[in-house]
Amino acid sequence: MILSDKRILEEIEKGTIVIEPFDRKYLGTNSYDVHLGKHLACYRNRVLDARIHNEVDHFEIPSDGYILQPGILYLGVTLEYTETHHHVPFLEGKSSTGRLGIDIHATAGKGDVGFCNNWTLEISCAQPVRIYAGMPIGQLIYFVVEGQIATLYNQKSSAKYNRRSQLPVESMMWKNDFMKP
């Protein structure tokens, strides 16, 4: 079940959903619009390795915008900091963003109950497109969880993305245990 606008507001009042900054005008019928923060990052190396820490270079989007290029993975970040304590948050692109040929995540659209941070975006584009800090970039929808949660994401010792950051965070795959085939 997806939360409605009224239910999202009720959960914000209870403190089970936190969105900072929050502005009622960005609340849709069953979602909340999030905006692109001013920071982007790109990996230093063209070839990435899942077993090592692939470093990134961070930069700010200029006030006159930044032109994304196809074939490059950009890491962006939402302007909004969010907390979700009782629901599963999903981040999806807005249709207007998609119609510009911009994808905001490769695979990481689902958050975990207990996720408390700005969202890192995995941005790619179909053709060159100018983007701006503060532009609407996606929408959060919230699903009801069935059953009790054993351990919230922000309480897991294995959680790799718990450190609060307004910068895009690179892949921490290298921290995972790799199974032997």
pLDDT tens track for 109-156: 888 999 999 999 999 999 999 999 999 999 999 999 988 888 888 887
Confidence of residue 15 (pLDDT cuts 50, 70, 90): very high
Domains of the chain, earliest start first: 5-43+55-154 (2.70.40.10)
Q: Which residue has the higher pLDDT, 177 or 53?
A: 53
Task: Give the angle 125-127-129 at the CA atoms, nearest 5°.
Answer: 75
Q: What are the residues whose beta carbons fall under 8 Å from the beta carbon of 25, sequence distance 6 or more?
A: none
Which residue, 79, 136, 86, 143, is CA-closest to 109? 143
Enumerate the active-site residues: 122
The pTM is what? 0.92
Paired tokens of 4: 């409605």
**pLDDT tens sequence across 48-97:** 999 999 999 999 999 999 999 999 999 999 999 999 999 999 999 999 99
All residues at 6 or more sequence positions from 7 whose CB lies less than 8 Å from its CB, including other chains: none
**Number of residues that this document lists for the chain:** 181
Instruction: Output the pLDDT for position 149.
Output: 86
Tell me the C-alpha to C-alpha distance, in Å, between residue 116 and each of 17, 59, 66, 79: 10, 23, 28, 13
Which positions ≥6 away from 58 have C-beta within 8 Å?
39, 40, 41, 167, 168
What pLDDT is recorded for position 132? 98
Distances (CA, A) of 98 to 13, 89, 123: 32, 20, 11
